Amino acid sequence: MIIYGLAILSFSFVVGQWLGELLGKLMGINSNVGGVGFAMLILMLLKEVFERKGWWKDEMILGIDFWNKMYIPVVIAMAASLNVKSAISSGNLAILVGILPVILGFAFFPFLMKAFKQ
């Protein structure tokens, strides 16, 4: 059943976001800390367990895979809903602070990879 897969995805999502909120509260900040990351880890773990038990059926996977493949369309919609105008027109400082560190990040990245021999 497709809905089983979708339900597993939703379960991982809700529990992960919940953990993120709890961690945020524990740290004393008004923000979700890694909720999406926790949800992803839960989904990966459930997948491993289900595969081992032989419960991971094609029909079920369809329910998750649909959203997996909807990812790029969602990102396109997200890009179209960003405040691009204010970001570009809010002056040179915002553009500098937005772009220069990204370039530094790109420059630093290869050194990090070398240090970890990846």
Partner 1 sequence: MEELLKVIDKNALIFGFLMVGILAFFSDQFSKKVLRSRIPGSAIAIFLGLVLGYVGGVFSDGSKGISDIELFKGVGILGGSMFRDFAIVATAMGASFLLVKKSGVLGLVSLLFGILIFFVSGVAIAWIWGYRDAVSLCTIGAGACTYIVGPVTGAALGASSEVIALSIAAGVVKTIAVTVFTPVLAKKIGLESPGSAMAYGGIMGTSSGVAAGLAATDPKLVPYGAVTATFYTGVGCLLCPSLFYYILTMFSESMG
By beta-carbon proximity to partner 1, the closer residue of 54 and 86 is: 86
Q: Give me the count of residues in the chain.
A: 118
Question: Cα–Cα distance between 60 and 29 in angstroms, integer?
Answer: 37
Of residues 91-110, those binding partner 1 (CB under 8 A): 91, 93-102, 104-106, 108-110
Q: Whole-angstrom distance between the N-terminal and C-terminal Cα of the chain?
A: 40
By beta-carbon proximity to partner 1, the closer residue of 1 and 27 is: 27
Asked if 11 interacts with partner 1 (CB under 8 A), we say no
Question: Cα–Cα distance between 51 and 102 in angstroms, integer?
Answer: 40
Question: Cα–Cα distance between 100 and 66 in angstroms, integer?
Answer: 37
Instruction: Out of 25, 29, 55, 59, point to the residue binding partner 1 (CB under 8 A).
Output: 29
Instruction: Out of 3, 31, 55, 57, point to the residue binding partner 1 (CB under 8 A).
Output: 31
